[in-house]
Structures are given as structure tokens and as C-alpha cells.
Structure 1
């Protein structure tokens, strides 16, 4: 199915909009994993930060799974016979970027102002600049996926209330909403690394619960 920019996530637009670069979705995700994971392993080896490598690897895999799910949710929503207003709201508004930025700013504030304990546990009392840079890059990726899941849930509820769908599209929309719950639940694999940080733990679990609640409401109202 052809994709018009304005009917794609910002992530999809970036991947598909680079001149001269025609990557399949599989190739784009594979490159993402290779680059991030290579960085995690090299920096872990160079600085002797093997305690951070496991957490970094899990975060890379979560981000990659999020990329796959974004492609699936994007394509699925484009296939729905919904009015242009739905797709403009979901894709054209780029609200997922705004929500991702807000989540990322909150996370950075927590890590560097509220409680630096997590950074010290991962990198020691004098964190290497390169390791922190890569960590923030991966965390931004995760926050962007969180923002996308939030916005998908909100728009799904709007769609359920305001758009009449055919029986086949209604069933497809419900599957997409259920998949968005799974999309958010991927973040739960980070929980074992957050036991000592109840605020971050609560934020991740709360995110999943909130998305599940809104998507469930959308499914019921569809």
C-alpha cells in the first residue's frame, strides 16, 4: 500500500524520506539493532561497563520491537476505511513526537536532578560521556515509542466514539487496539532493572495500565 507523508509516523517519514535510500522495514530495523547494539558492546568493553551491557541490550531490543510495532500499527490504521480526519489526527498532527519529548524531558530530569542513583549504578560515579550519550539516544527511542502508544490509544478512543466502521473494519480496529496494548506492554521487560527506582517503575507500569484502559474502552465502544 502506498504511503503519503502526512499519513505516516514521523519515524516512518524519516526512514522513507532520505534521498537515495530505499530500505525495507526489515532492513531499517536490522540496521537500528546493529548500530545500537554495536555501540552498547563496544562502549561496555572499552569502559569496562559490563553491568550496563545487559540493560542496554534489553533496551535496544525493546526499541527494535517498538519499531516493528510502529510499522504494523501504522499500516493497519492506514488500511482502515476511516475519514481523512482520523488519519490526520493520528499521523499528520505528529503529537506522538510531542508526547515522546515530554516523556524524555521527564526522564532526563529524573536521571540528572531527582535521583542520579540509576546512572551511578550503571556507569559508576564518573559516567563516561560517550556511554551517557548512547544511553540517552536509546532512551529517546524508547520514549518516542511510549509517546506513539499513548497517542494511538487516545486516537483509537476518538475513532471509537466518532467514526462508524463496517463490521470488517471494526474487527480490524479492535485487533489494532489490542496490539497497541501489547506494544505498550513490551516496555515491561525493563521492570527488572527498575526495582530500585520506584518512580520510574511506577511510570512504566502506569503507562501500560493507562494504554490498556484507554484501548479497552475503545474496543468496547467500537
Structure 2
């Protein structure tokens, strides 16, 4: 989001630092204004996961771009924008859960549990924005692992290059593991818990298959 601001040209690392600082300041302001200090802990956790996802995504992209990978894979991984489609679908699914599934028959929803029975609009806005930032990184991890599996199945590489690519393929796995920090937030929401853990297992499986194919 920071890189999309017209006329602003900063390094990716500074952009990630601004992302983390900006979101965290917003979380603390909301906590102070509305006395949501318990929710601030949840918000801070989401900020750290989103910021870590940004840093991991940048690191993965830099590594893969520096390696002699086929042009077809490069276009698939970096030029297709399919990760945006995956992220939008996942985000709409989350919003549908929050406003159509979770409230049905529930005395306390995920939002009201954190933000009170009558959650203020600015706090809900910030919560949904943070959720999008996390889910967008999840979409990138999905697509990066799937594209890596296709590349490893389709192409052969010299052993040295294959080892370097295999190390780069571990970055989506690192972010998937980082997302396990969100488990306490959704622990009492079985559907969200299943989706989160299922995503981590799926990414782990696909990355493992990619690495095996590279080595064989």
C-alpha cells in the first residue's frame, strides 16, 4: 500500500518498517480512545504477522529473481497476479464468516468478543484492513508454493542451482509457520482454526514436494 502512493519512492525495507509502525500506532490509538487494550494485543499480533509476511515476501522475491530460473516460471510467479485473486476470494470468505456465519446462533462473535457488543466503526475498519493485509500475504504464499511446485516438476536444474532454489522455496513455508501465531485468536472458532491450520499444512506439503522434486 505504501509503494502504491503516487510520487513516493522509498526502499522496500523502509516501506515494511512504515507499514508495521503505522498499523501499530493505529492499533494503540484505537485502544486508547475506546479502551480496547485487550483487543490491542490481538491487533499487535496481527501487525507483526502482516509485517513479517511483507519482509518474507520481499526476501523471497529478491532471492528468486537473482537465480537463473526459466522465464515462464518468472512470468507465472511474478507477473500473473493470481495471488490477488486468491487473496480477494479468501478475504470475502472471511468477511462472509464474520457477518453471516459467526453471528448465527452465537452470543459473542469474533468481532464483538474483541471490540464489544457495539463496536465503533473506526475500530472495525482498522480490524478489516489488518485482516486484508494478513490475507494478502497468505495469497502470495499460496501462489508462490504452487508456482514453485509446477516449476520443480517441469524443469531440471544443476545441483547447485537446485539447492539455491530449494532454499528460496522455504520462504513461503516460513510465513506459513509464522501464521500459527494467530491460532490463539481463532482458537474458539473451529471453522477459522481449521482453515488456518489447513492452510499451513497445505503450504508445507506443496513446498516439501517442490523441494523433493528439485533434489531428485
TM-score range, shorter chain: over 0.9
Q: Which sections of structure 1, spanning at least 5 residues, go unmatched?
A: 1-10
Contact 2:152–2:210 (8 Å) recurs in 1: yes
Task: Identify the residue that residue 157 of structure 2 maps to in structure 1.
Answer: 165
Which residue is 2:139 aligned to? 147
Query: Matched residues in 1 for 2:26 and 2:75: separation?
Result: 36
SS of the aligned residue for 1:122 comes to helix
Alignment partner, residue 102 of structure 1: 89
Report deviation, 1:18: 4.7
Query: How many residues in Structure 1 have an aligned counterpart in Structure 2?
Result: 209
**Which 4+ residue blocks in structure 1 deviate beyond 2 angstroms?**
17-22
Q: Deviations over 1:19-55 (max 9, x none)?
A: 5322122210111011101110101111111121000
Which of 48, 51, 54 is 2:38 aligned to? 51
> Are 2:10 and 1:28 aligned?
no
* In 2: Cα distance, 1:180 partner to 1:209 partner: 12
- Please point out which of 50, 54, 64 is paired with 1:67: 54
Deviation at 1:134, TM superposition (A): 0.5
Give the drift of 1:166: 2.1
Deviations 1:43-97 (CA, angstroms, capped at 9, x unpaired): 1111111121000000001000000001011111111211211111001100111
Bigger Cα displacement from structure 2, 212-221 vs 164-173 = 164-173
For 1:179 and 1:28, the matched residues in 2 are separated by 19
| 8 Å contact kept, 2:57–2:171 | no
* 5+ long unaligned stretches in structure 2: 104-108
Task: Name 1:126's counterpart in structure 2.
Answer: 118
TM-score by length of 2: 0.93
